[in-house]
Structure 1
């Protein structure tokens, strides 16, 4: 199969927008994206379909004409301060019911391959010291977001078993790159200001994945025959501690990282007291993934090193400071 027309859902999202720009620059594909509301900052060669909110009642017919491959990146994402009365129901509405609605319509329209951007949270929140999650581990999601992603995966596999449409599931770890927001951007800002940070003695191991590496894996899965009906984890293949990560970012910023070696146990205790236990878990716990399956089945290894990926992520921040 040589795909010609690609539908990328959620074109305003961090990953989807970067993927669309990459594909548009390649000039190899006819591109379609779904948007919640109209926008004009995407390349003009991309056809846009405005659908409003992602719901189980969306009619995708206009977007599915002649589509070979779908990359489903639209989702209700993990939120730090959840306000919904029933978070699991909210996540299921979008991430399960709306996803399967699209997938069923895609199968009926003759789409050949459906690439689902899931989450490492399907595997779990933390890996045991010295071990790494694999794509074929028994899932162990903890929060409503992870549970909804697992349920969507299960529904997609059932659909693939009963139709001619192939499913590919990709579970990324933390994704970073140009335009990154949230905690990653906060770290960049703290280090640029020279703020002393209490993370000088964190000996955990975390896997991350740059936008460039994740996009390269997705494109590999467009047509590779061995990707059909498989699950892959996505990372840079280089694991770092929180302390090492901060030092690497500081190096790109040409700043000295002021990292104080405070006891991890004390900081974790204090974080729980102020309701930041989940954040402390990410800062101090380990989450490693094994991507050897990607090389074994796809011949894929990350083309971009962690250092290069961090440099690319920090560069827009540096340029904005100059302007």
Structure 2
């Protein structure tokens, strides 16, 4: 790697831990920025992220920043004003960091955003592209889009290079939430009524996202660009379950219930949004990363799934 000291926010998170390990393996120098763990030579506790956060000590001598820390999307947000809470961390906190980074002489700022900036779903065969008009539809996606806009303004005012990466669902070793639940259901042999879903969804293996981030840290052509992350192979929900089961060495017990029946049942139970994720399509076109950076995902879907389920298998 040619880049100097890299500061990584959210360094103890799912993506952050993998990214820091990869940067060190490539000979890089990393400063891990976290919220509450005590400071050491390469770990700095910065507290809560907001417009008031003081990043001075964390940014001293830093050449590049990868900003992973965020208030993440939640299926059931109990905040009285979710958008205000997302803006406090994801917009105000991000832009405060970016302004202080520019003032500290940081050369490049890599912001890991979300495919939700593009929208919630696509028509089959009509993948989102990096330069499509944004269409965020929930508070999380709106906050990420507003942060992107603010970062572009900071870049224009200061000359600091900004790179934006929008990943879809990320899976890999240590994955949690819905993906982990799906793996556990398959591992236990629980029959699932998802054997006749013909949608298409893009995912990104943790190793592929980390590789794209590291590429964007020092590739000259990445400056002030937006890229979508993905594995380069889209799967239906049924195909994903079959491939995960194969990685587990287990049979996929899938019942072929028509998608329309599932969606009707889910609407009666107040689970329409969840079923949309299972039955709807969301595809991303990673062609820009290939054209501009010469980047291709180093890990196939099947390799990524094997790594993701290794501990459970």
- TM-score with structure 2 setting the length: 0.98
Structure 2: which 5+ residue stretches go unaligned? Answer: none
- State the Cα deviation string for residues 90-147 of structure 1 (Å, max 9, x = none): 0000000000000000000000000000000000000112210000000000000000
Aligned position for 1:2: 2
User: Which secondary structure state, in structure 2, belongs to the residue aligned with residue 240 of structure 1?
Assistant: coil
Cα RMSD after superposing both structures: 1.3
Q: What is the CA distance between 1:12 and its match in structure 2?
A: 1.8
* Aligned counterpart, 2:282: 287
C-alpha distance in structure 1 between counterparts of 2:149 and 2:13, whole Å: 24
Tell me, yes or no, if the aligned pair for 2:118 and 2:133 is still in contact at 8 Å: yes
Which ranges of 4 or more aligned residues in structure 1 deviate by more than 6 Å?
A: none
Which residue of the partner structure matches residue 193 of structure 1?
188
- Alpha-carbon separation, structure 2, partners of 1:165 and 1:191: 46
Task: Specify the alignment match of 2:21 in structure 1.
Answer: 21
CA deviation after TM superposition for structure 1 residue 316, in Å: 1.7
Any unmatched runs of 5+ in structure 1? Answer: 319-323
Distance 2:216 2:117 in 1: 20
Which residue number corresponds to residue 299 of structure 1?
294
Q: Match of 1:245? A: 240
Cα shift readout 1:179-235 (whole Å, capped 9, x = no counterpart): 000111111111111111000000000000001000000011111111000000000
State yes or no: 1:235 paired with 2:239: no
Q: Aligned partners of 2:308 and 2:221: how far apart in 1? A: 31
The CA deviation string for residues 167-190 of structure 1, in whole angstroms up to 9 with x for no partner, is 000000100000000111111111
User: 1:82 aligns to what SS in structure 2?
Assistant: coil
Q: Does 1:314 find its partner at 2:305?
A: no
More displaced stretch, 15-24 vs 145-154: 15-24
Q: Does 2:145 match 1:146?
A: no
Out of 34, 45, 51, the residue aligned to residue 46 of structure 2 is: 51
Residue 273 of structure 1 deviates from its aligned partner by 2.0
SS at match of 1:239: coil
Q: Does 1:37 align with 2:32?
A: no
The 3-state SS of whatever aligns with 2:130 is coil
Aligned counterparts of 1:171 and 1:9: Cα–Cα separation in 2: 17
Report the Cα distance in structure 2 between the residues aligned to 1:61 and 1:317, rounded to whole angstroms: 42
Which of 209, 212, 222 lines up with 1:214 in the alignment?
A: 209
Query: 1:263 offset after TM fit, Å?
Result: 1.6
Q: Which residue of structure 2 lines up, in the alignment, with residue 71 of structure 1? A: 66
Note if contact 2:38-2:44 (Cα within 8 Å) is conserved in structure 1: no
Say which SS state the counterpart of residue 270 (structure 2) adopts.
coil
CA distance in 2, matches of 1:170, 1:59: 25
What is the CA–CA distance in structure 1 between the aligned matches of 2:107 and 2:24, rounded to whole Å? 21
Deviation at 1:18, TM superposition (A): 1.1
Q: Provide the C-alpha distance between the structure 2 equivalents of 1:64 and 1:121, rounded to a whole number of angstroms.
A: 29
Quote how far apart the aligned CAs of 1:25 are.
Answer: 2.6
Q: Secondary structure at the match of 1:315?
A: coil
Q: Cα offset for 1:54?
A: 1.2
Aligned length: 313
Distance across 2 between alignment mates of 1:29 and 1:250:
36
Q: Any idea what SS the aligned residue of 2:142 has?
A: helix
Note the C-alpha offset of 1:61. 0.4
Alpha-carbon deviation of 1:38?
A: 1.1
Q: Secondary structure at the match of 2:218?
A: coil
